[in-house]
Amino acid sequence: MSESNATALPHLPSSLSQGQNQTNWMPAQKAADSKTIIYKSDVMVQLMKMIERVSPSQASVLVMGESGTGKELIARSIHEKSSRKSKPFVAINCGALRETLLESELFGHEKGSFTGAYNKKIGLAEAANGGTLFLDEIGELPLSIQAKLLRFIQEGEIYRVGGKDPIKVDIRLVCATNRELDQEVVRGNFREDLFYRINTIVVSAPPLRRRKEDVPMLVNYFLSSATNSFINRGKSIDEEAMKVLLKYDWPGNIRELQNVCERLQILSEGHMIMVNDLPESIRNPEMIDESLDFDPSMPLYELEKRYILKALLHYGGNKTQAAQGLGITIKTLYNKLHEYGEFEKYAVHTKPAKD
Ligand SMILES: Nc1ncnc2c1ncn2[C@@H]1O[C@H](COP(=O)(O)OP(=O)(O)OP(=O)(O)O)[C@@H](O)[C@H]1O
Ligand SMILES: [Mg+2]
């Protein structure tokens, strides 16, 4: 089963489109291709039914799920199935920008409202008027902006930074998170009143390990439609190799599977992809496990941090390569670095400074 929808691309004045897939102005063809949702498993059939039911309403939707499970794809699909589909779908990653920049990206600013504000700027919320505003990684939203977002949701009005007059804006809100937001509420990092406003409907994107029936379909789809398909279109995969892919746990979910398929398409020789063409980490994941004894003094969080920083060292501080190697998005990598307090060190320098 698959579904694909027409494309509505806004032309927005923004500094956000820096190749990190944070916003939505890709060439129309690419956007249309990347919006096809491939699925077969019962759990996805149920999820798509839920999306059909939810989309036409105006209700705020919170899309939950691990990294790479297709949250953004689901958000787009909700927009495309709504009466707002001919209006803009505007996406912003709440974790990718510093607080002040985020506020002016989201709500805009008036000329002269701060040093460097030479012109008036329309914010993304205003640009999404009539359409859907997708707030990705909503759990990263700083508390001060949470307050402003709440006011916007309640009043239907925004204030540009430095602006005195409210501006009426009509949007449908879809948010995504890979964190347990209710836990963030308990920890005091996320406002409870905002939490209840954004989670009228909760949609959960299941991890790929819980819908392995989708793997063969996804593999065939990615092999025939990935960016490099013009060089290597039509590669097929050997039955044994497919079995290996089905056995693997896919911690990076569909994004990881997509990366593997793209690599196979470019690197494997011959027409048929064989077991030996598959990366070692997928053929023998237990080898990595065996070398890792459980250590009660090492919480998962610490282990993950060390692993990520090691990947950055391995790639000489190149964040794009490190994210690819880790099977996560660059956005997720930035977020992790923020969490660890290592953002400045790695974001500012090309190579990490030595400790
Ligand atoms: N069911 C699917 N069919 C086809 N492609 C998919 C499917 N689910 C996800 N993808 C693709 O996998 C990649 C990851 O999806 P997406 O960006 O929507 O995930 P995400 O949950 O937002 O990830 P992250 O948390 O890392 O931001 C995208 O390239 C998307 O097009
Ligand atoms: Mg995402």
Q: Tokens at residue 40, please? A: 């077969």
Band of residue 34 on the pLDDT scale cut at 50, 70, 90: low
* Residue where one domain finishes, among candidates 159, 184, 204: 204
Closest ligand to the CA of 66: 1
Does residue 85 lie in a domain region?
Answer: yes
Does residue 353 lie in a domain region?
Answer: no
Query: Is the Cβ atom of 330 under 6 angstroms away from ligand 1?
Result: no
Closest ligand to the CA of 328: 1
Query: Is the Cβ atom of 70 under 6 angstroms away from ligand 1?
Result: yes
Does residue 295 lie in a domain region?
Answer: no
Is the same domain home to 161 and 58?
Answer: yes
Q: Using alpha carbons, list the distances in angstroms from residue 139 to 9, 58, 223.
A: 26, 22, 34
Does residue 149 lie in a domain region?
Answer: yes
Q: Which ligand 1 atom is the nearest neighbour of the CA of 73?
A: 18
Is the same domain home to 221 and 175?
Answer: no
Q: Which of the two residues, 52 and 270, has the higher pLDDT score?
A: 52
Is the same domain home to 250 and 166?
Answer: no
Is the same domain home to 75 and 135?
Answer: yes
What residues pair up with 109 in beta bridges, in sequence order? 121, 161
Is the same domain home to 49 and 175?
Answer: yes
Q: What is the pLDDT of residue 4?
A: 44
CA distance linking residue 106 with residue 28, whole number of Å: 23
- Report the CATH number that the domain containing residue 234 is assigned in CATH: 1.10.8.60
CA distance linking residue 138 with residue 106, whole number of Å: 13
Is the same domain home to 236 and 191?
Answer: no
- Report the CATH number that the domain containing residue 339 is assigned in CATH: 1.10.10
- Do 161 and 104 contact (CB within 8 A), yes or no? yes
Does residue 271 lie in a domain region?
Answer: yes
pLDDT digits (tens, 9 = 90+) for 93-135: 998 888 888 999 999 999 888 777 888 899 999 999 999 999 9
Is the same domain home to 30 and 116?
Answer: yes
What number of CA atoms fall less than 13 Å from residue 259's CA on the CB side?
A: 19
Residue numbers of the domain that contains 317: 300-348
pLDDT at 15 over 60: no
Q: Please tell me the residue having the least CA distance from ligand 1 atom 8.
A: 70
* Residue where one domain finishes, among candidates 146, 178, 204: 204
Does residue 354 lie in a domain region?
Answer: no
Query: Is the Cβ atom of 255 under 6 angstroms away from ligand 1?
Result: yes
Ligand 1 pocket test, candidate residues 71, 76, 254, most atoms within 8 A of CB: 254
Is the same domain home to 234 and 215?
Answer: yes
Is the same domain home to 139 and 286?
Answer: no
- Report the CATH number that the domain containing residue 22 is assigned in CATH: 3.40.50.300
Is the same domain home to 16 and 165?
Answer: yes
The SS3 assignment for 73 reads helix
The SS3 assignment for 87 reads coil
Q: What is the pLDDT of residue 5?
A: 37
Closest ligand to the CA of 65: 1
Residues bordering ligand 2, an ion, CB closer than 5 Å: 71-72
Q: What is the pLDDT of residue 355?
A: 37
* Residue where one domain finishes, among candidates 138, 170, 204: 204
Query: Is the Cβ atom of 178 under 6 angstroms away from ligand 1?
Result: yes
Number of domains in the chain: 3
Q: What is the pLDDT of residue 334?
A: 87
CA of 318 to the centre of ligand 2 (A): 21
Does residue 113 lie in a domain region?
Answer: yes
Task: Kindly write down the DSSP assignment for every residue of 291-312, as one continuous string.
Answer: T----TTS-HHHHHHHHHHHHH
CA of 130 to the centre of ligand 2 (A): 23
Among 236-250, 261-275, 329-343, which range has the highest average pLDDT?
236-250
Which long-range contacts (C-beta less than 8 Å, at least 24 apart) are formed by 316-319? 316/351, 317/346, 317/349, 317/350, 317/351, 317/352, 318/350, 319/346, 319/347
CA distance linking residue 109 with residue 103, whole number of Å: 9
CA of 304 to the centre of ligand 2 (A): 19
Q: Tokens at residue 243, please? A: 């079995």
Query: Is the Cβ atom of 72 under 6 angstroms away from ligand 1?
Result: yes
Closest ligand to the CA of 335: 1
Does residue 112 lie in a domain region?
Answer: yes
Is the same domain home to 41 and 173?
Answer: yes
Is the same domain home to 281 and 137?
Answer: no
pLDDT digits (tens, 9 = 90+) for 241-270: 999 999 999 988 999 999 899 888 888 888
Q: What is the pLDDT of residue 346?
A: 66
CA of 276 to the centre of ligand 1 (A): 27
CA of 76 to the centre of ligand 2 (A): 11
Q: Which ligand 1 atom is the nearest neighbour of the CA of 39?
A: 1
pLDDT digits (tens, 9 = 90+) for 292-325: 677 777 788 888 998 999 888 877 777 888 888 8
